Structure formats: structure tokens, C-alpha cells
Structure 1
Amino acid sequence: MNDSPVKAIAFFLPQFHPIPENDEWWGKGFTEWTNVTKARPLFPGHYQPHLPADLGFYDLRLPEVRQQQAELARKYGISGFCYYHYWFNKRRILEHPVNEILSTGKPDFPFCLCWANENWTRTWSGGSKDVLLEQKYSHEDDIEHIHSLFSAFRDPRYIRIDGKPLFLVYRTELLPDPKKTAEIWREEAIKNGIGDLYLVRVESFVNNINPETIGFDAAIEFAPDWANLGPRLFRTELLKKISNIGLFPKVFSDNQVVDYDTLATSMMRKKKPDYVRFPGVTPCWDNSARKKKNAAIFINSTPDKYEQWLASSIQRASSFDSKTPKLVFINAWNEWAEGNHLEPDQKWGHAYLEATFNALNDPHKERNTLRIYPNPLNIFHYLRYLYNRNIGWRLKK
């Protein structure tokens, strides 16, 4: 159990069961596991594929799976899940797990929702190319949308801040008039006996927007923060030329490879804003299972480094004034195809969960300092690459 005054909430991806839309777009039986199992290491020391341990290749339609996840999270100090919620003009997608949680009352574990309000595209980027499902915003839809959430908000397990249901929006900058949307949501919630809402914007692509200026209460750091990644490894013009003639793997010029230490340190050094912003951390990140080009790959992450970053974030949250909720958000519980998961895998087992527990229960313990390589070329990694290549490692260009 977690005795810390700071509560950790983990983002939760529901895309681990087949749905007709994914069958049509990606092939019969597609789930997130389809991408996970296709991943391969792209360079020496690259940790892929990420394969599950304790829970196996689960199906979220099974109640026993959802129960096991809640028990595991509770054991290691996680205070709740934040389920991604998908709404496209009265159309819900991947709603089955949350519907079952609401209808059965199980598992008995706190939760909240985050509206992932991007377009669905074939590039997994939420952009405008090859759109599969498009977001079309209107204030009429705002009313329909918030009404659809009332059954969740009324659930006794739903996470509340000062009695207000906690609701996140992944990209408020895509809303045509976020302040008006927030006003409509609050009015409808109050009118229907829910009470006021606690609205939070996720700082995922556009940062440093004071949430109060758009009618929201707070912000959450998305980790990784794409504006604070630190230098990319092997992205110099010289190495690009060397890659083009086959002397260096094109994976480094075709993707963003970043050292985990640099990411963690860059985010910990961010200036404190003049609004409420909850810290965010990630145990790792590597979406090369989803993207064959321009993937973001963070190397050299370990449970110890993650524990240090999380402990620092917990200390930051614990310093909030008495009126501010003491929350930290972890990305994520089960984003397997993006390489960021607390659920046990075959390489680390429960180590990341144990690191979470340790940071929550003793955030002030002395820990090793994260290391940043001063040279963006990162000569250590370059020499390791050459060594491995000379002893027989063959890389696909």
C-alpha cells in the first residue's frame, strides 16, 4: 500500500481487445499486441520487443485480467488508473473495458478518464493524413459528450478533487473554443446533480498555457515532454552522410534516439509555472513497435533511473500548498507498443513496480545522480556500436 501523501495515477490504454473498426483498418483480430510482437531490435543494445510476463498477452474483455491489474497496481502503491476515453461525435471506441467496470462494480479500484481527442490516423500520430476517424467539434456535441460521462462521474470509485470529478483532455489546443467547452461541461454537470468538475489539460504538444485562461483548473506534464528531450544521439550531418553510404545504420538518422538520463534531467529542470501543473514521469519510451520511421526511442532507461526521476517528482508534488492536490501521473501502466509500461515484462519483471513503491514510500532517500553525456554524438554509444558490429551484429538499413 501507498502511505505517501502524494498519489500516483497511471495512464491506462484500453486497446487490448479486438473491435470491428480495428479489424477493418488493420486486419482481423488486431490489438495493441499485434504491433508489440512485430518489434525487433534496430541497433546493438536496443531493447525490443517488450514482451509481457505475469499477465501475458491479455484480453481486457476478461474481468479476471482487470482484477489482476488492479491488485498489482494497488500492491505497489498506484492510487488509480486514468483510462483513455475515445469520443467521436456520439461514437465511442474501445469503450468495453470501462463499460464493464461501471456495470459490474469491479475491480474496486479508483479511476478517472482522459479524453484522447486526436484524429485516428494510419500513422498513429493524430495528424491529418489518412484519417480513419475525425474529430468534429461543436458545442452541441460538447453537451452530448459530457452527458455520456455522467454514469462514470457518479461511480463511487471515480477520482474526485475536493468532491469534483477529475476529467482530463489530452489536447485542449485542438478544441475551437476550449473555454466555452469547459463552461458548457460545468453548467451541464451542475444542472444534472454531478456538481462542478475538476478539468485538467495534458501538456503533450503545446505547453505553458495557463489552464485558467481556458477555463480549466490545472495541467499535467506529459512524459516525454517533446519540447524538453535533450540532444538526439547520432543526428549530425556527418553521420547522416555516413549512413547514406552504409557505414552507419540509418536507424539513427531515420528516428529520434535520445538518452533516458537526458530526458529525465531536462524535465526535472523545467521552470516552475505560475499555475498548477502536476508532474509527469515515464519509465521508458520507445514507439518503434508502432512506427517504422521517425520513431522516438529512449535508450538506457533502468528502474533505478526511473525511481530517481519519480522520487524527484514526488518531492515536487509534496511541496504544493494545502489547496493543491498532491498528484503525480505516470505514463503509463500498459502502453506496450510505446515501450512505457509498469506492468511486468520478461526483461525487468517487477523492478519498475518496485521502483514506484520505493519512490512513493521514501522519496527523500539518497539516490544516484542521473548522468548526461555532454557530447551529442555520445562517443560511448558510438564505440559500443562499432564493437558490436565488428563481432558480427548485422543491422537492417
Structure 2
Amino acid sequence: MSYIKPIAIYLPQFHPIPENDLWWGKGFTEWTNVTKAQPRFEGHYQPHLPADLGFYDLRLEEARLAQEQLAKDYGIHGFCYYHYWFNGKRILQQPLDRKMRNAKEDLPFLMCWANENWTRTWDGLDKEVLLKQEYDFDDDLVHIQHLISYFRDERYIKVEGKPVFIVYRPNLFPDIQKTISMWRKAVYDAGFPDLYIGYALNGENHFSPQSLSFDFAFEFQPNSINFPATIPYPNTVKDKIFREIKKKLRIKDSEQKCYIDYSAYVSNQIKKEFRDNIYPGITPMWDNCARRKENNFILHDSTPILFKKWLIHIKENYPWNKVPENFLFINAWNEWAEGNHLEPCQKWGTKYLEAIKEMLK
């Protein structure tokens, strides 16, 4: 087995853009929500605040270079940039476009098309749509020609000469097989042997890659597969008082306030079997309270030790000999508003990165 290649999913939403100024207020970035987060119960880790890299602005070369150096120091092979394309309209493209013009930013990279609506609820569903994702075969051809300009870069990650490209939600396409066929031909005509195309495996995209003409999938973590039982928030005196008041006023709670224990989640993931042509995925932590005041999802009590336990299991048990590359997808490098990051925070510092480095030894 050659060495494992960790690929960290990368969110480029840490700089102002006109659209976010309009929708969320002048100067909005991902940090806006991060700094507003508050604990929901005793022992709840919020807010997640950055340590080593600070509240960076991804328009700055210094910030991007610092990220890449940190990733290299701890064995991250490359970043998987979220790519936003709405029938030719691009959003949040500045960090990657600036990298493309800067030879000093030499960390390998690939792209994942986050092909869902932008909505006010941050879930891609059809509720108060800000940017609608529509599909058109003519647009598919324009899109792939645009992507080929990135594929030609020597830093772009390839498998046997084939550029790696990921679709986040393939189930939304009217005919994904036709789209993939068109893309493969365009990439071949551009001089590549083929496209190495995959998708994010989660609860809604739980099918085999070959059934829809994909080459691979990767486990997008966390997902709704193999969830352990939820645990109600611990009750405080304040909670009990509010509950009694609501009961007297006949007010129902708008949500069920529960979390999932990270240790139980890891145990369930370790028990499941790996599947053919599906690369392993892992998450260090998850808590999207900063983005969602209600109906949030919390993996509570994550620790670097538990994360390392999961990493070691993947290293020792995944059938690496059945895939052409040794990719391990980590969600995420910097999803701060989802409480999901390898970048150092004020609580854990570099401990999660250290777990990766130790696993790679």
C-alpha cells in the first residue's frame, strides 16, 4: 500500500461578495455566523473560534499560503474546493481563481460542484431561494469547458492522468448519465484520457457509482446512514422553568432538542462494511448551530482521540488495493459555521491535525 492521501473539503466563503452583502448584510462572511453562536446546554462546545490562522480573509495571499503550509505540515495531500456554478454565474470563486494565478500556492487541489439551490435556510431546499440551480445540456457543455481550464493546471489532482471531479448532489440532475457522457467526451477531446468523476455518498445518494456512470463515490461525513440514537439536551433549572411556562400557555416547542454522541457515531461507522469504489470519509466534528438556530445537527463530545480511533480503523481496514488511489476524504478543512474543521480552534489547537499526522506514520 502506498501512502494515504487525505483530501480536505474546503469552503471558500470567507470573504465578502456583493450577493451576500445583499442577502445577509454588508460585509457578511462565514465568520459573521460563527461569532454569534452560543452554547445550547451545559458542556456544549460553542462558539468555535479560530486560533493559529485567526479570522482570515481569503482574498489575501498570506491567508491562503498559511492554510496551505499548515495542511502540508500535517500531511494533507490536497484541498477539495467547493465550486458554485449557476448557469454560467459563479459565486465565491475568488480564492481558487487567485490560487490559479499564484505559483506559490502549490498544494494539490480538485473541485466539487455544490449543485444545489442557495436558500435562506442553508439546506438547498426550495424555501426562499436566493440562487436557483437549473439544469440544461447546453449549459453542461459550457460548464465543462470552463472546468477544463482548471483541469489543465499541473496542481489539479488526477488519477492515471484523468482529472478528478465531484458532483455533490447527482440526484438533482434530470439525466446525469447523459451529462457525464457529454463531459467525458469534452475532456477526452481536450487531450485527457478521461474524466474521473465521483459524487458525495449520503442518505439521499445511496446508490452504487456504476449504476449512474460514475467512477467512484466518497463517504460524505456525517450522513444519515447508521445514526445512533439521539440524546435530549441536558435539562437545566432554566429549561424546566421555560417548559412549565410553555405548558401553561399551551405553547409547543418548535423543535426536538437533541444531539448525537460523537463516540456512538464513530462506533457505528467502524461497524459498517466498506463498499466497492467508495472512498472512505471522516469528520472531526460537526455542530451547525452557528448557521441554524432551529433544527440543527450536533455531534457532541468529539475529541481528537476518538477522531484518531476512526482514522486508524480506516487505515487498517479499508480495501486500499481495490481503488486506483488512496484518497481519504475529510469533511472539512474550514467549515467553521458547521463546527466542522481541521483548522486549529481555541479549544483544541492543532490536536486534530496531529491525529492525522500520527495516523499517516
Bin for the TM-score computed over the shorter chain: over 0.9
- What residue number does 1:358 align with? 358
- What residue number does 1:164 align with? 162
SS for the counterpart of 2:77 is strand
2:67 alignment partner, one of 50, 66, 69: 69
Amino acid at match of 1:105: A
Note closer, same or farther for the CA distance 1:12–1:142 as it changes in structure 2 (3 Å cut): same
- What residue number does 1:285 align with? 286
Amino acid at match of 2:346: Q
| Contact 1:170–1:204, Cα closer than 8 Å, also in 2 | no
Note closer, same or farther for the CA distance 1:246–1:313 as it changes in structure 2 (3 Å cut): farther
1:142-157 matches, within 5 Å, as: 142-157=140-155
- What residue number does 2:110 align with? 112
- What residue number does 1:176 align with? 174
1:59 deviates by: 0.2
1:16 alignment partner, one of 9, 14, 17: 14
Q: Give the Cα–Cα distance (whole angstroms) in 2 for the partners of residues 130 and 222 of structure 1.
A: 26
Note closer, same or farther for the CA distance 1:244–1:47 as it changes in structure 2 (3 Å cut): same
1:268 deviates by: 2.1
- Note the aligned Cα RMSD (angstroms): 2.3
| Contact 1:150–1:194, Cα closer than 8 Å, also in 2 | no
- What residue number does 1:334 align with? 334
Q: Give the Cα–Cα distance (whole angstroms) in 1 for the partners of residues 226 and 296 of structure 2.
A: 16
1:344-383 matches, within 5 Å, as: 344-361=344-361
Is 1:201 the counterpart of 2:199? The answer is yes
Note closer, same or farther for the CA distance 1:324–1:38 as it changes in structure 2 (3 Å cut): same
Q: So what's the TM-score if we normalise by structure 1?
A: 0.85
Amino acid at match of 1:284: M
| Contact 1:41–1:49, Cα closer than 8 Å, also in 2 | yes
In structure 2, stretches of 5+ residues that fail to align are 234-238
1:82 alignment partner, one of 63, 80, 83: 80
Amino acid at match of 1:122: R
Note closer, same or farther for the CA distance 1:4–1:285 as it changes in structure 2 (3 Å cut): farther
SS for the counterpart of 1:78 is coil
1:241 deviates by: 11
1:254 deviates by: 3.3
Q: Give the Cα–Cα distance (whole angstroms) in 1 for the partners of residues 198 and 4 of structure 2.
A: 18
1:378-389 matches, within 5 Å, as: none
Q: Give the Cα–Cα distance (whole angstroms) in 1 for the partners of residues 188 and 182 of structure 2.
A: 10
SS for the counterpart of 1:257 is strand
- What residue number does 2:53 align with? 55
Deviates more, 1:264-273 or 1:95-104: 264-273
Q: Give the Cα–Cα distance (whole angstroms) in 1 for the partners of residues 342 and 217 of structure 2.
A: 23
Q: Give the Cα–Cα distance (whole angstroms) in 1 for the partners of residues 253 and 283 of structure 2.
A: 23
| Contact 2:161–2:192, Cα closer than 8 Å, also in 1 | no
Is 1:266 the counterpart of 2:268? The answer is yes
Note closer, same or farther for the CA distance 1:184–1:297 as it changes in structure 2 (3 Å cut): same
| Contact 1:14–1:83, Cα closer than 8 Å, also in 2 | yes
In structure 1, stretches of 5+ residues that fail to align are 362-397
Note closer, same or farther for the CA distance 1:12–1:35 as it changes in structure 2 (3 Å cut): same
SS for the counterpart of 2:360 is helix
The percent identity for this pair of structures is 51
Residue deviations 1:70-107, cap 9 Å, x none? 11001001100000000000010000011011122231
| Contact 1:167–1:199, Cα closer than 8 Å, also in 2 | yes
| Contact 1:289–1:338, Cα closer than 8 Å, also in 2 | yes
- What residue number does 2:214 align with? 216
Q: Give the Cα–Cα distance (whole angstroms) in 1 for the partners of residues 322 and 125 of structure 2.
A: 40
Residue deviations 1:267-291, cap 9 Å, x none? 2222333x31111100000000000
Aligned residues: 353
Q: Give the Cα–Cα distance (whole angstroms) in 1 for the partners of residues 138 and 357 of structure 2.
A: 44
Amino acid at match of 1:245: E
Residue deviations 1:327-382, cap 9 Å, x none? 11000000000001010111111111111111122xxxxxxxxxxxxxxxxxxxxx
Q: Give the Cα–Cα distance (whole angstroms) in 2 for the partners of residues 76 and 251 of structure 1.
A: 44
Residue deviations 1:156-186, cap 9 Å, x none? 0111111111101111111111111110110
- What residue number does 1:382 align with? none
Is 1:309 the counterpart of 2:317? The answer is no
| Contact 1:8–1:77, Cα closer than 8 Å, also in 2 | yes
Note closer, same or farther for the CA distance 1:95–1:45 as it changes in structure 2 (3 Å cut): same
1:244 deviates by: 3.9
1:315 deviates by: 2.2
